[in-house]
Amino acid sequence: MKHIFVMNPVSGVRNQNEEIKEIVRNVLNEDEVVFYETKSHGDAIGFVSNFIKENRDQKLRFYACGGDGTLNEVVNGAMSGGNLIEVANLPVGSANDFLKYFSDRDFKNFENIINGEVIKVDLFKVNDRYCINVFNIGYDAKVVVFQRKIKKLPLVSGKLAYKLGVAVALLGKLSHKMRVSVDGELTYDGKATMITVANAICYGGGFYCSPLAKVNDGILDVCAVKKVSIPTFAKLVGIYKKGDHLTSEKTKNYIAYKQGKKVVIETEKPLYYAVDGELTKSNSLNIEVIPQALNFVIAKK
């Protein structure tokens, strides 16, 4: 089996590609390994897809060496290869939120990932893009817009950029008219601050938006945060971050929550949304789960 390491040089605080290469060469034979450093945003999708085309009918394992965005690109490229393809994630990004689902595994030890266990996980499709972790629209997607701009400033890390993005995004309009249907049933129609559709439990560097989610149950977890004022938002965001918003008495009037397989979201005007942190804009979104879609490598215990 070929082991292909797709390395994002701008993930995280510093470039760890040479360290990754050294670890890999101590564990795997040189003829089993391919290293590829991405050149631009979206490059990993094309590289992975083309590599699969050139190595048809071979078992391949792709390692996304970066954060959730790099993982998303590798997954989108890997879906052209069917059941012979495996995907792993070496967590050198700013957050690596998808891996927080597997809290009993040590992903910091890269050897444990290379020698890891393969499991089936669900994916879901947002219009024409695959998502492995969380889709979000509204305020938190706007945070990512500002985070990207702030991160370009000198000496600003990914985590600091996110915190500053949270503050700057509060200065604009907080809620928008949104209509959400789950499995053909209207779930919410009104002004919403943000909406998440999740396969796993966490996004945004540690916000547990969907604490009940399971990555292999064939079900999506949909959570709409209704219109709130800035003071109320500031008061309740800590509860949301910890994942207590589905049970807390303080948040029950502000949350619409539903599980299902197909989700339709419509907005009055195009809004930014994020698919595993990757941004685009739309006013009409069709979202559908794809059960057991991907062979994913989790770290050996």
Report pLDDT digits (tens) over 29-56.
999 999 999 999 999 999 999 999 999 9
Mean pLDDT of 59-64: 98
Tokens representing 4?
A: 């292909």
Q: What Å distances lie between residue 191 and 137, 187, 210, 232, CA to CA?
A: 13, 13, 20, 15
Using a pLDDT cut of 90, give the percent of the chain over it: 80
Helices (H), the chain: 17-27, 43-54, 68-78, 110-114, 139-151, 158-169, 230-242
Using a pLDDT cut of 70, give the percent of the chain over it: 98
228-248 residue pLDDT tens: 999 999 899 999 999 999 999
* pLDDT at residue 157 in the model: 67
- Taking residue 293's Cβ as centre, other Cβ atoms within 10 Å add up to 19
Q: What Å distances lie between residue 256 and 73, 208, 286, CA to CA?
A: 30, 16, 19
CB contact set of 141 (below 8 Å; sequence gap of 6+): 194, 271, 272, 273, 274, 279
Residues in the chain: 301
| Residue 158 pLDDT > 70 | no
How does residue 11 score in pLDDT terms, banded at 50, 70 and 90?
confident
Q: Answer for the pair 196, 136: CB distance below 8 angstroms, yes or no.
A: yes
Distance CA 147, CA 144 (A): 5
Triad 125, 131, 136: Cα angle to 5°:
95
196-221 residue pLDDT tens: 999 999 998 899 999 999 999 999 99
How does residue 12 score in pLDDT terms, banded at 50, 70 and 90?
low
Return mean pLDDT, the chain: 93
| Residue 227 pLDDT > 80 | yes
How does residue 17 score in pLDDT terms, banded at 50, 70 and 90?
confident
DSSP 261: S
| Residue 172 pLDDT > 90 | no
* pLDDT at residue 201 in the model: 98
Residue whose C-alpha is closest to residue 87's, from 53, 56, 60, 51: 60
Mean pLDDT of 89-114: 93
* pLDDT at residue 147 in the model: 82
- The phi and psi torsions of 255 (rounded to 5 degrees) equal -120, 130
Strands (E), the chain: 2-7, 33-37, 60-66, 85-91, 117-126, 129-131, 134-138, 176-182, 185-198, 220-226, 255-260, 262-275, 278-298
Q: Answer for the pair 108, 23: CB distance below 8 angstroms, yes or no.
A: no
Q: Answer for the pair 265, 285: CB distance below 8 angstroms, yes or no.
A: yes
Distance CA 173, CA 175 (A): 6
How does residue 148 score in pLDDT terms, banded at 50, 70 and 90?
confident
Tokens representing 128?
A: 């024409």
Q: What is the pTM of this model?
A: 0.93
